[in-house]
Structure 1
Amino acid sequence: MKCPVCESESYEILKSKGKHSKELLLKCEECGNIYRETIIREKPVDVRIVISEFEKSKKDFVKLYPDEVLMVDDILDLDGKEVAVNSIEIKTSARVYRSPVSDIETIWASSMDMPARVGISVDFGGRITSKKVDVDRDFEFTVGDIVKMGNLIFKINSIKTIERKLRKGFAKAYVTKRVYGRPLEEFVRYNYDLSPNIV
């Protein structure tokens, strides 16, 4: 959208109204001219969405506008229920952080109504103890944290998220697939206790 006076494409939106066709009141950031533009939006399209609910997943479709840009962590309304976008698969089968809706093949999401279920693996030098815990979706696992789980105390040494493996930093529970740790002596002070969260 170019300014009719100086043809600059740099503008500020002062007002926007309408749903299918948007009437915009714009102010040119170069010369200060105020002008109107009308944008006709394309019809919404059905985009495949896979919603994970712990070990199960449900396939569905969500209506989105092709010119919208979707990002990981965006919240979508699916028949009155909120789901969080965990990953976006585009038509080339690549996973990306953000994409125009027109390029999306599948949206991977999780229900906001349920806690996050995270796998915990503790390595006793080749013998692995594995459990699953349900925690608040925004709970943060941090590499280096000392954790109690039942009669076991361990230190987190890595975190596997939907996108990658972390050897430092933290990850929110809703993007965490598995937490890896090594056991510590029982008398060590711990940061938090996951015992009540074991599934």
Structure 2
Amino acid sequence: MKCPVCNSESFEVLKSKGKKSKELLLQCNECGNIFRETVIPEKPLECRVVVSEFEKSHKSSVEIYPDEIIEVGNVFEVDGRPAEVTSVENKRGGRVPKSIATEVETIWASYTNIPARVGISVDYHGRILSRKVEVDREFEFTVGDIMKLGDVLFRVNSMKTLERKMRKGFAKAWVIKRVYGRPVEPETRYQYDLTPKLVNIRDEEDEDEF
């Protein structure tokens, strides 16, 4: 495609609509002219998806167009349910935040129509109390917060997300794998009570559990 004014092939897509044929609103990067083009996209590719539901995961597939950009945060329908991309694996075996569809080997995703399940580990000087809670996916854990879990009060010291270990800041529950904390005095004022969110399952990371 070329700009009808200056013939430049450098442009920005302002709007795109349609599937069988796409109507594009483009702006030339050279002269700023705004123009429309209609294109017929290539046939979709079938891409492998590994989708998680709490501790379990299964393989499936989705159809994506070759020119699509797949990135963390995208939401696809997988087996009739919404799933959000948590990681993208390219054909070179690397995990990347985004990739053009033709270079994608596997999409890693998690269902969005379920709560987030987060591990909690409270360190009593080497003895670990480990539990799991289910909270809203958008719930934010912040390093430094005081939380209640049953008869335990603890301060969040760090968190392990899908990508890294955090010792400061905050993260949404859907990207957190585990929250680490240390107990505080019983009379300490707390921000959140996680007790109603406890899940009655054995924690796979239990160590000398109370």
User: TM-score, normalised on structure 1?
Assistant: 0.90
Within 5 Å, give how 1:29-44 maps onto structure 2. 30-31=30-31, 35-44=35-44
Which runs of structure 2 are paired with 1:147-162 in the superposition (5 Å)?
147-162=147-162
Task: Supply the distance in 2 between the matched residues of 1:99 and 1:45 (Cα, whole angstroms).
Answer: 14
Q: Establish whether residue 117 from structure 1 lines up as the match of residue 113 from structure 2.
A: no
Higher mean C-alpha displacement, 137-146 vs 36-45 = 36-45
Match of 1:80 in 2: 80
Q: CA deviation at 1:26?
A: 4.3
For the 8 Å contact 2:60–2:79, the answer to whether it is kept is no
Residue 174 of structure 1: aligned partner: 174
Residue 70, structure 1, aligned to residue 61, structure 2: no
Give % identity. Answer: 62
2:12, 2:163 → 1: CA distance? 35
**1:57 Cα deviation after fit:** 0.8
Q: Give, in angstroms, the shift of residue 36 of structure 1.
A: 4.8
Structure 1 residue 39, shift from structure 2 partner? 2.6
**What is the count of residue pairs matched by the alignment?**
199
CA distance in 2, matches of 1:25, 1:166: 41
Give 2:49's aligned amino acid: I
Q: Which residue of 2 aligns with 1:142?
A: 142
Unaligned segments of structure 1, at least 5 residues? none
Q: How far off its partner does 1:126 sit?
A: 0.9
Q: Which residue in the other structure is 1:183 paired with?
A: 183
**Contact 2:90/2:106 (<8 A) preserved:** yes
Residue 96 of structure 1 is matched in structure 2 by 96
Runs of 4 or more, structure 1, over 2 Å off, are 7-40
Q: For the Cα contact (< 8 Å) 2:23–2:38, is it kept in 1?
A: yes
Cα distance in 2 for residues equivalent to 1:192 and 1:101: 41
Q: What is the distance in 1 between the residues matched to 2:165 and 2:45?
A: 34
Correspondence for 1:47? 47
Inter-partner Cα distance in structure 2 for 1:194 and 1:7: 61
Q: Which of the two has greater strand per residue?
A: 1
- Provide, for residues 83-131 of structure 1, a one-character-per-residue CA deviation record: whole Å limited to 9, x for no partner: 1111111112211111111111111111111101010011111111100
| 5+ long unaligned stretches in structure 2 | 200-210
Counterpart CA distance in 2 for 1:111 and 1:32 is: 41
Structure 1 residues 186 and 77: CA distance shift in structure 2, 3 A: same
Cα displacement (A) at 1:7: 2.4
Distance 2:15 2:103 in 1: 29
Alpha-carbon distance between aligned partners in 2 of 1:144 and 1:127, rounded to the nearest angstrom: 21
Task: Tell me the TM-score normalised to structure 2 length.
Answer: 0.86
Asked whether the 8 Å contact 2:119–2:179 carries over to 1, the reply is yes
Aligned-pair CA distance for 1:12: 6.1
Counterpart amino acid of residue 167 in structure 2: R
SS in 2 for 1:87: strand
Q: Secondary structure at the match of 1:7?
A: coil
Query: In the superposition, relative to structure 1, how do residues 181 and 17 fare at CA in structure 2: closer, same or farther (>3 Å)?
Result: closer
